[in-house]
């Protein structure tokens, strides 16, 4: 496997008034070049914090991010900026992430100017027009402002901006969550096309399990700052090993009324707080399989099948327990 | 079957600054909610689904106006009811829950106070009994440490808890009709599943009818008996939920269904409906979906299709009746 990105024992803690938020706790994984790793979990599980750590937008409490074989934190100033050009981000809210006072052309050009790409403004403008074409925005709209575009088109503009520096890795943080179904499909297709054309690698963060399944080669499930399961996509969906994964999959309302099941088990309770999380397995207060061991000892991430990792003292093995 | 709410030929328009013409957001919509049933109203942003419910409840923004139609609820036309009467119905026989429950809870009163007030308005319980009932309701909707939460202000609760308080409120009032506008859109899947189950529970216990307004076809499949699909201010299809998901007829509905990533393997393209929703002030002359429809003929661009009954109350607004449509 040709490794592009490696997160090594990443930890991020934020001190707050009544304790410490354990946003990301000892998270390690790799992403291969050209791969899409899906990252799922509920609000507060640390998935967006993890994205920001990888981009070095926030500094980890401990641990390291390796990109193309180099430890990002070991670099300073210009060298770090040069390496970071290879990683870009697309955000959930295309309304909030585009400056309303800038024309679309300028928005897309900004990273080019900042990194002094191209020899003249005219050359950069040509590059912008080509990027607009690649994401399906007519180059004639160069001088328009963000409010003159629909939500789907604005997301395309955000994608063009992310592509400007010809990155290898794009972190997509809920890129289709704010879009209507028909527009969502257009953006997902665009992301697939761009990946095929440019050999892009995606870290795709989403709470939508159906979308993640469609786009990802592997999927990582997080709960309260930790990885609970990491697996190639199909095995995870057909045979989840972690009870939390199974609950999540069953909770998604499927667009098929014949699959209704009013008796199926639901995950009880609230999403626990990442401030002073419970000891032992962090999922144990909501888990039907929890016993004494789970209340006291944190489970390790163990390989259950080739490439299929699960952190649970009592993983689901070919049996129905709820 | 008896309908708890029957909307006929509703037309709603909006004025905007400096313009003489009004934008028509809902154009002749008819919809029936059978007593004890759950009806879904689906469509994408701006299709008029929320405007429909707001106009029925007399909650339109100031620049909005009901131009025509009626909405019969228990023999009265809600659209002609004086404000005072409508307000009485709203807190009483009709409950509403919205995407952001914060907007419907009073931020300066504890949830307990708001619940007990609702209970006492609808019963002759004294304060102590109402409090006990309120805590019981909070427990029932799955609020942990209900007795403590009783004294909390809305901002001290999570979004999921606030939505559950709203449902607890609805249970206290045992309404005839619950209008839910994207009630789970802002919530995590595990909380969404809990809320949907609570809504079913409310219906089972009190025979409450539900109008579920959503863009999420999964939620529709999970909860609804009948579904209306809206596009650009009009109903384009109506069917019972099983027919709709097995055999939808309108090219727009088919497109929506096909756009969903379900079991679609990686690398295979998702179907997508080309183009975007038309501007409210520049509606196509013929079928409103024609500019985006792969099957549109000259007739579709020139002439406006009506709702055709395909049999058994399955309505479809399409000249082709969707028969030739096949996006698979």
CATH class of this structure's domain B3-230: alpha beta
User: Could B259 and A211 be called an inter-chain contact, meaning their C-beta atoms sit closer than 8 Å?
Assistant: no
pLDDT at B322 (0 to 100): 46
Q: Does A185 touch chain B (CB under 8 A)?
A: yes
Cα–Cα dist B141/B164, whole Å: 6
Tokens 């000259």 label which residue? B298
pLDDT at A212 (0 to 100): 94
Cα–Cα dist B240/B253, whole Å: 14
In the A/B pair of chains, how many CB contacts fall below 8 A?
Answer: 125
Structure tokens belonging to residue B167:
């449902």
Structure tokens belonging to residue B172:
């206290």
Contacts B217 to A, Cβ<8 Å: 181, 255
| Per-residue pLDDT at A166 exceeds 50 | yes
Q: Which of residues 226-255 of B touch A (CB under 8 A)?
A: 241-242, 245, 255
Chain B's closest residue to A217, CA to CA, is B266
Query: Which of B44, B272, B273, B278 to probe by mutation at the A interface, max A CB count within 10 Å?
Result: B272
Contacts B189 to A, Cβ<8 Å: 42, 207, 209, 248, 251-252
Region A220-225 average pLDDT: 95
Q: Answer for the pair A244, A283: CB distance below 8 angstroms, yes or no.
A: yes
Structure tokens belonging to residue A122:
């005219």
For chain A, count helices (H), then strands (E): 10, 12
Cα–Cα dist A82/A236, whole Å: 36
Tokens 């994608």 label which residue? A159
Q: Does A276 touch chain B (CB under 8 A)?
A: no
pLDDT at B326 (0 to 100): 44
Domain boundaries defined on chain B = 3-230, 232-316
Confidence tier at A319 by pLDDT (50, 70, 90): low
Contacts A258 to B, Cβ<8 Å: 242, 245
Structure pTM? 0.89
Q: Which of residues 98-137 of A touch B (CB under 8 A)?
A: none
Question: Which among B192, B216, B245 has the least Cβ separation from residue A257?
Answer: B245
User: Could B267 and A192 be called an inter-chain contact, meaning their C-beta atoms sit closer than 8 Å?
Assistant: yes
Q: Does A148 touch chain B (CB under 8 A)?
A: no
Confidence tier at A28 by pLDDT (50, 70, 90): very high
User: Could A260 and B266 be called an inter-chain contact, meaning their C-beta atoms sit closer than 8 Å?
Assistant: no
Cα–Cα dist B230/B233, whole Å: 6
CATH class of this structure's domain A3-86+167-310: alpha beta
Domain boundaries defined on chain A = 3-86+167-310, 101-161
Cα–Cα dist B49/B228, whole Å: 10
pLDDT at B328 (0 to 100): 37
Q: Does B60 touch chain A (CB under 8 A)?
A: no
Q: Does B156 touch chain A (CB under 8 A)?
A: no
Question: Which among B221, B241, B270 has the least Cβ separation from residue A253?
Answer: B221
Q: Which of residues 256-275 of B touch A (CB under 8 A)?
A: 256-257, 259-267, 269-273
| Per-residue pLDDT at A62 exceeds 50 | yes
Question: Which among A151, A260, A266 has the least Cβ separation from residue B194?
Answer: A266
Contacts B44 to A, Cβ<8 Å: 180-183
Question: Which among B196, B245, B272 has the least Cβ separation from residue A253?
Answer: B196
Confidence tier at A300 by pLDDT (50, 70, 90): very high
pLDDT at A298 (0 to 100): 95
Q: What's the mean pLDDT when you consider all of chain A?
A: 91
User: Could A271 and B221 be called an inter-chain contact, meaning their C-beta atoms sit closer than 8 Å?
Assistant: no
User: Could B190 and A259 be called an inter-chain contact, meaning their C-beta atoms sit closer than 8 Å?
Assistant: no
- E strand segments, chain B: 3-14, 23-34, 38-42, 64-73, 76-77, 94-97, 177-181, 209-214, 226-231, 234-240, 308-309, 315-316
Region A234-262 average pLDDT: 91
Q: Answer for the pair A113, A106: CB distance below 8 angstroms, yes or no.
A: no
Cα–Cα dist B56/B34, whole Å: 16
Q: Answer for the pair B96, B179: CB distance below 8 angstroms, yes or no.
A: yes
Q: Which of residues 189-228 of A touch B (CB under 8 A)?
A: 189, 192, 207, 209-211, 213-217
Q: Answer for the pair A85, A165: CB distance below 8 angstroms, yes or no.
A: yes
What is the distance in angstroms between the Cα of B190 and the nearest Cα belonging to chain A?
Answer: 6
Contacts A270 to B, Cβ<8 Å: 144, 158, 160-161
Question: Which among B161, B193, B221 has the least Cβ separation from residue A255?
Answer: B221
Residue percentage of chain A with pLDDT more than 70: 97
pLDDT at B19 (0 to 100): 80
User: Could B272 and A189 be called an inter-chain contact, meaning their C-beta atoms sit closer than 8 Å?
Assistant: yes
Chain A's closest residue to B197, CA to CA, is A262
Confidence tier at A236 by pLDDT (50, 70, 90): very high
Region A49-61 average pLDDT: 93
Region A189-215 average pLDDT: 94
pLDDT at A318 (0 to 100): 60
pLDDT at A76 (0 to 100): 85
Structure tokens belonging to residue B300:
């579709």
Structure tokens belonging to residue B14:
């909006």
pLDDT of chain B, 328 residues: tens digit per residue: 699 999 999 999 999 877 888 899 999 999 999 999 999 999 988 899 999 999 999 989 889 999 999 999 988 999 999 988 988 888 789 998 888 777 778 899 999 999 998 888 878 889 999 999 999 889 888 887 889 999 999 998 888 888 888 888 887 888 999 999 998 887 888 888 888 998 999 899 999 999 999 999 999 999 999 999 999 999 999 999 999 999 999 999 999 999 988 767 777 888 988 888 888 888 999 999 999 999 999 999 999 999 999 999 999 999 987 454 444 3
Q: Which of residues 8-47 of A touch B (CB under 8 A)?
A: 36, 42-43
Chain CA centroid to CA A260, Å: 30
CA angle B17, B20, B21 (to 5 degrees): 105
Residue A93 per-residue DSSP state: -
Cα–Cα dist A193/A188, whole Å: 9
The per-residue pLDDT for range A180-199, each reduced to its tens digit, is: 888 899 999 999 999 999 99
Region A211-229 average pLDDT: 95
- E strand segments, A17-78: 19-32, 36-40, 62-67, 70-71
Of A59-73, A108-122, B13-27, B210-224, the poorest mean pLDDT is in B13-27
pLDDT at A271 (0 to 100): 65
pLDDT at A270 (0 to 100): 67
Q: Which of residues 184-203 of B touch A (CB under 8 A)?
A: 188-194, 196-197, 200
ipTM above 0.95, yes or no: no
Contacts A251 to B, Cβ<8 Å: 189-190, 192-193
């Amino acid at each position: 496997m040709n490794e592009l990105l490696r997160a090594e024992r990443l930890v991020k803690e934020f001190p707050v008034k009544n304790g410490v938020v354990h946003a990301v706790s000892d998270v390690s994984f790799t992403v291969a070049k050209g791969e899409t790793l899906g990252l799922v979990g509920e609000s507060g599980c640390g998935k967006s914090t993890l994205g920001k750590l990888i981009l070095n937008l926030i500094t980890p409490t401990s641990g390291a991010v390796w990109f193309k074989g180099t430890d990002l934190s070991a670099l300073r100033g210009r060298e770090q900026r040069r390496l970071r050009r290879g990683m870009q981000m697309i955000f959930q809210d295309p309304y909030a992430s585009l400056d309303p006072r800038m024309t679309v052309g300028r928005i897309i050009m900004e990273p080019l100017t900042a990194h002094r790409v191209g020899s003249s403004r005219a050359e950069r403008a040509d590059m912008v027009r080509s990027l607009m074409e690649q994401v399906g925005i007519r180059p004639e709209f160069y001088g328009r402002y963000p409010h003159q575009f629909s939500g789907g088109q604005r997301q395309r503009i955000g994608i063009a901006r992310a592509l400007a520096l010809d990155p290898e890795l794009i972190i997509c943080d809920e890129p289709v969550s704010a879009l209507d179904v028909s527009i969502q499909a257009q953006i997902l297709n665009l992301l697939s096309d761009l990946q095929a054309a440019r050999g892009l690698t995606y870290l795709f963060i989403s709470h939508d399990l159906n979308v993640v399944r469609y786009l990802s080669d592997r999927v990582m499930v997080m709960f309260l700052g930790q990885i609970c399961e990491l697996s190639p996509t199909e095995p995870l969906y057909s045979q989840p090993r972690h009870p939390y994964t199974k609950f999540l999959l069953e909770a998604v309302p499927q667009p098929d009324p014949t699959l209704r099941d009013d008796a199926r088990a639901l995950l009880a309770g609230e999403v626990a707080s990442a401030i002073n999380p419970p000891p032992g397995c962090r999922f144990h207060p909501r888990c039907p399989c929890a016993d004494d061991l789970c209340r006291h000892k944190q489970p390790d991430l163990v390989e259950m099948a080739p490439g299929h990792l699960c952190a649970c003292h009592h993983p689901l093995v070919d049996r129905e327990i709820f | 079957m008896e309908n708890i709410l029957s909307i006929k030929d509703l037309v709603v328009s909006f004025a905007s600054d400096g313009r003489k013409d009004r934008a028509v957001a809902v154009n002749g919509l008819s919809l029936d909610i059978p007593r004890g049933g759950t009806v879904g109203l689906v469509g994408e942003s701006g299709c008029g689904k929320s405007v429909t419910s707001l106009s029925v409840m007399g909650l339109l923004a100031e620049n909005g106006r009901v131009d025509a139609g009626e909405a019969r609820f228990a023999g009265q036309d809600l659209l002609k009811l004086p404000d005072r009467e409508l307000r009485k119905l709203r807190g009483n026989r009709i409950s509403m829950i919205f995407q952001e429950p914060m907007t419907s809870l009073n931020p300066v009163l504890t949830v307990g106070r708001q619940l007990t007030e609702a209970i006492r308005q609808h019963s002759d319980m004294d304060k102590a009994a109402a409090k006990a009932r309120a805590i019981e309701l909070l427990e029932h909707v799955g609020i942990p440490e209900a007795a403590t939460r009783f004294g909390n202000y809305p901002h001290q609760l999570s979004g999921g808890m606030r939505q559950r308080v709203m449902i607890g409120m609805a249970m206290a009032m045992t309404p005839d009709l619950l209008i839910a506008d994207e009630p789970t859109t802002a919530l995590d899947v595990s909380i969404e599943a809990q809320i949907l189950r609570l809504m079913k529970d409310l219906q089972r216990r009190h025979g409450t009818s539900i109008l579920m307004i959503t863009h999420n076809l999964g939620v529709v499949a999970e909860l609804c008996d009948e579904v209306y699909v809206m596009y650009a201010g009009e109903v384009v299809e109506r069917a019972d939920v099983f027919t709709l998901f097995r055999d939808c007829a309108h090219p727009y509905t088919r497109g929506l269904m096909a756009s969903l990533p379900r079991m679609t393997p990686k690398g295979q393209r998702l179907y997508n409906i080309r183009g975007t929703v038309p501007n409210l002030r520049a509606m196509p002359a013929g079928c409103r979906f024609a500019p985006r429809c792969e099957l549109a003929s000259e007739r579709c661009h020139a002439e406006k299709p009506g709702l055709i009954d395909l049999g058994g109350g399955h309505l479809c607004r399409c000249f082709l009746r969707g028969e030739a449509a096949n996006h698979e």
